[in-house]
Amino acid sequence: MKKLLFKISGISTLLLFISCANLPSNNINQNFTPSNDEGMIIGALSFKNEKPIFNGYSLFYTGENITDLKIKNRIYITPEQMVKMKFKPDFFDNEKAVYYFSITEKEGQYSFSSFSTFMNGGYIQKHGSVPINIPFKIEKNKVLYIGEVYVDYNKNKIILVDKKDRDIPRLKTKYPNLKIE
């Protein structure tokens, strides 16, 4: 009986862990200590706040020395999927679910180059990908705010919007040791 309860408890814990939403902001360092020629950008990724229809959303970036779309070069969002799928962002801004993220790389020119989705319907799994071109620059020893990448997949719209007035005060409160420019 104890073994059965342990197995059920372990499976429940695993399911809870797997189905929880993830926040890219959990990976933002409280302190930026650059090494070599590194810099950091910080920004927001937002979605129209409707019921998510995909199990995963990826925003990939490429750069001078990064040409392949790899897992280490992406911002990944997984909505909460316990009872029903819903966004669990850092915060809601009217009709948008907003997630903060950061990228630390060597100084240079980069670009968000692909937005992809993943849907898992049990027997049916689908991947979709859209090429995009949203350039950004990483400067040596600096933390730069780049804006908000807004995604409305129902309207096939992915744009970069300046939300400095909203984001800089929030980011300074959440990450007081980062000098965000």
Confidence at residue 64, expressed as pLDDT on a 0 to 100 scale:
81
Distance CA 113, CA 106 (A): 18
pLDDT class of 124 with cuts at 50, 70, 90: confident
Confidence at residue 21, expressed as pLDDT on a 0 to 100 scale:
55
Mean pLDDT of 56-66: 86
Confidence at residue 16, expressed as pLDDT on a 0 to 100 scale:
38
Looking at per-residue pLDDT, the higher value among 49 and 175 belongs to 175
Question: Any idea which residue has 């020395």 for tokens?
Answer: 65
Looking at per-residue pLDDT, the higher value among 70 and 9 belongs to 70
Confidence at residue 9, expressed as pLDDT on a 0 to 100 scale:
40
Mean pLDDT of 115-119: 87
Mean pLDDT of 130-147: 93
Distance CA 171, CA 30 (A): 11
Q: Token pair of 116, please? A: 């992809």
Distance CA 58, CA 75 (A): 6
Q: Which domains does the chain have, with CATH numbers?
A: 21-174 (2.60.40.3540)
pLDDT class of 134 with cuts at 50, 70, 90: very high
Cα–Cα distances (Å) from 165 to 10, 41, 88, in that order, read 45, 17, 23
- The model's pTM is 0.82
